[in-house]
Structure 1
Amino acid sequence: MASSDPPEIPDYKTEFLQSCLSANVLTFGNFTLKSGRVSPYFFNAGLFHTGSLLRSISTAYAYSIIDFLSNTQSPPQDFDVLFGPAYKGIPLACATVSALTALAPARFSSLSYSFNRKEAKTHGEAGSIVGAPLRGKRVVIIDDVITAGTAMREAIGIIEAEGGVLVGVIVALDRMERMPGSGDGAADRGSAIGEIRKRYGVPVLSIVTLDDLVGLLRGKGDEGDLKRLEGYREKWLATD
């Protein structure tokens, strides 16, 4: 039946998910998350530490950004700085700026990256920002996932304190689940990504979503993993 067919997704998303699976960045089992939930899958972007894997994730980020900028009718259409929160966001920002420049040099050759120090430097150039200064710049944050939104709000606070203007966020995976600690009422079933969108009025992109992963497993995954994943999605799916 057509309804059971896996949804078609762009090749770069499929290739990204395959890279995640082959490198055990994405694994299946029983994982207790920081929120206390027991998840049937775990995503660890810290394992993208080889040249080929870093190229895979940065290229997927780049294609996601280009697709959004090409298809959206809402401003802003461009940005000045890709900001990677310390620590996981640092290599992601650097590599993705390089990937964007390689894919669309006319548009992105002047794009900068920036990241924060965990502790402000008190000598030399001083300050807490490395890379491009943020004052007056249109900034997109890049990170791996948003779970509760705490780290993302901290990053936004840094950008605002430095005089930057947040215009978007991109993550590798949208888990599509409601925030930890939320209740059972319909009004309490929003996701951390949805909360960021509403609170700051900016687009929040992802390379892939939980639905993409379910679609991939329907096509060629383990039946047991698929059933557990679908059950988890049904239990915790956010309303936004």
Structure 2
Amino acid sequence: MSPNAANDVTDALAQDFVKFSVESGVLRFGEFKTKAGRLSPYFFNAGLFDDGAKLGRLGQFYARRLLASGVGFDMLFGPAYKGITLAAATAIELARLGRNVPYAYNRKEAKDHGEGGTMVGAPLQGRVVIIDDVITDGASKRESVEMIRGALAQPVAVLIALDRMERGGRDDNLSAHSAVEDFTSAYGMPVAAIATLADLMQYLRSTDDPALSAHLSRVAAYRERYGV
């Protein structure tokens, strides 16, 4: 496959994912207060992929994006809590596609009976991809990297659903980089996203729904102010 063809596949996947997220009510438009206190014109809540059909479709997007990324991997890791379901759904879809790999996840609190400890699932070994919904401050991903390295395995990439492409910090002291860029710089590993804010904006430009396209100007203004 030529590089251009690969980009076309990725672009199509991203547009399909944005459409799916909007239709599922996971990606919404309006006015939402973010963790940083900003008023965002859109909100992505992966917790609303909340039934079997949505979760199965979501796993397909994760698996296809991971395979298209070209990252070599041996297993998946899902940080508690959202990452647990996402890693499991991705592993199921990878197996359906003929790539059966183990997965593991962590508990927030160590278990003091039974098998004990904080880790559940397959032993961490080989090349590990961390699966989660988004990166905000990157804290849970950093913890995941340390847990994986602590088990003498190798974290090789992070796969998320949506990259907001947004700078951190306060309005009067914005970071020059996004959380994704900071994480990549700190740990020297790629962060792949099924879709980005740029893909979201392209969807709003191309949609035939005037109610959706009406949100483009506010999303564009938000990206102009906070985007990278």
**TM value normalised by structure 1:** 0.85
State the Cα deviation string for residues 45-65 of structure 1 (Å, max 9, x = none).
001121111112111111111
The superposition leaves residues 34-83 of structure 1 with CA deviations (integer Å, 9 ceiling, x where unpaired) of 111110000000011211111121111111111111xxxxxxx5212210
Residue pairs, 1:191-230, within 5 angstroms: 191-220=178-207, 221=209, 222-230=212-220
The share of aligned pairs that are identical, in percent, is 44
For residues 112-134 of structure 1, what are the alpha-carbon distances to aligned partners after superposition, in whole Å with 9 as ceiling and x for unaligned? Answer: 11000111111221111101111
Q: Which moved more, 1:154-163 or 1:121-130?
A: 154-163
Give every structure 1 segment of 4 or more consecutive aligned residues whose post-TM-superposition deviation is greater than 2 Å.
Answer: 7-15, 160-164, 180-185, 221-224
For structure 1, which segment, 86-95 or 15-24, has the greater mean C-alpha deviation from structure 2 after superposition? 15-24
- Pair 1:142-2:131 in alignment: yes
Q: What CA deviation, in whole Å up to 9, does each residue of 1:90-141 have, x standing for no partner?
A: 11001101111222x1xx22x111000111111221111101111x421110
**Local SS of the residue matching 2:42:** strand
Normalising to structure 2: TM-score of the pair? Answer: 0.89
Bigger drift between 208-217 and 150-159 goes to: 150-159
Q: Does 1:133 align with 2:116?
A: no
On the 8 A contact 2:158/2:192 being kept in 1, the answer is yes
| 1:56 to 1:67, Cα distance in 2 relative to 1, 3 A | same
82, 93, 109: which one pairs with 1:88? Answer: 82
Deviates more, 1:176-185 or 1:146-155: 176-185
Q: Distance in 2 between matches of 1:181 and 1:33?
A: 12
Tell me, in whole angstroms, the C-alpha distance in 1 between the residues paired with 2:11 and 2:40: 26
Structure 1 unmatched runs, 5+: 1-6, 70-76
2:108 maps to 118
CA contact (8 A) 1:183 1:189 kept: no
Q: Residues 153, 181 of structure 1: CA spacing in aligned structure 2 closer, same or farther, 3 A cutoff?
A: farther
How many residue pairs match? The answer is 218
Aligned to 1:66: 67
8 A Cα contact 1:177 1:233, kept in partner: yes
Q: Are 2:24 and 1:32 equivalent residues in the alignment?
A: no
Give the match for residue 237 of structure 1. Answer: 227
How far did residue 180 of structure 1 move? 2.9
Unaligned residue ranges in structure 2 (runs of 5+)? 1-6
Q: Would the aligned equivalents of 2:33 and 2:40 in 1 still touch at CA under 8 Å?
A: yes
The answer on whether the counterparts of 1:168 and 1:204 sit within 8 Å (CA) in structure 2 is: yes
Aligned position for 1:4? none
Contact 1:182-1:189 at 8 Å conserved across structures: no
User: Considering only aligned residues, what root-mean-square deviation do their CA atoms show, in Å?
Assistant: 1.8
- Report the alpha carbon displacement of residue 182 of structure 1 after superposing the two structures with TM: 7.5
Letter in 2 for 1:45: A
